[in-house]
């Protein structure tokens, strides 16, 4: 009788872990985040942080599809750069929409994605 309770308990526990897990895909089907919004969401959600970090690594290695997928999750705006005190001359290169191979706008996500993805795994 105890064995049945244990196996049922394991089933329930594994079922609970799956509840609330989000699946992320490309392109993002939800709303776009601001830079600050995406960083906050990654800090709260380690699964999203790991997903974004994987896309960042692929994009920096030259994967254009990964870069486009990342851009479907967030939109870098002038107000984001203003909050970071980025000079106007550098804002222009970060906000260029005509550059398909430069990923300079993605560098702003590297450190937050790394920290958010790693911080949660150390606590477990």
Is 78 domain-assigned?
yes
What are the tens digits of pLDDT across the range 7-24?
Answer: 555 444 444 343 344 678
109 contacts 70 by C-beta, under 8 angstroms: yes
Is 99 domain-assigned?
yes
Return the bridge partners of 74, or none: 33
pLDDT at 3: 52
Tally of domains within the chain: 1
HSE, side-chain direction, 13 A CA sphere, residue 82: 4
pLDDT at 99: 54
Would you state the structure tokens that stand for residue 65, as one six-digit string? 């599809």
Is 31 domain-assigned?
yes
Is 98 domain-assigned?
yes
pLDDT at 117: 82
Q: Which of 47, 50, 46, 94 is nearest to 71 (CA)?
A: 94
Q: Longest Cα pair distance anywhere in the chain, in angstroms?
A: 72
pTM, two decimal places: 0.68
Give the domain range for residue 119: 27-123
């Amino acid at each position: 009788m105890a064995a049945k309770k244990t196996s049922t308990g394991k089933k329930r526990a594994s079922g609970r872990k799956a509840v609330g897990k989000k699946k992320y895909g490309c392109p993002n089907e939800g709303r776009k985040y601001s830079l600050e919004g995406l960083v906050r969401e990654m800090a709260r959600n380690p699964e999203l942080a790991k997903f974004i970090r994987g896309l960042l690594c692929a994009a920096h290695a030259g994967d254009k599809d990964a870069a486009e997928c990342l851009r479907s999750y967030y939109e870098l705006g002038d107000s984001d750069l203003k909050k970071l005190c980025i000079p106007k001359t550098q804002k222009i290169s970060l906000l260029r929409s005509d550059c398909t191979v430069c990923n300079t706008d993605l560098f702003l996500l590297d450190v937050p994605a790394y920290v958010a993805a790693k911080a949660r795994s150390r606590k477990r």
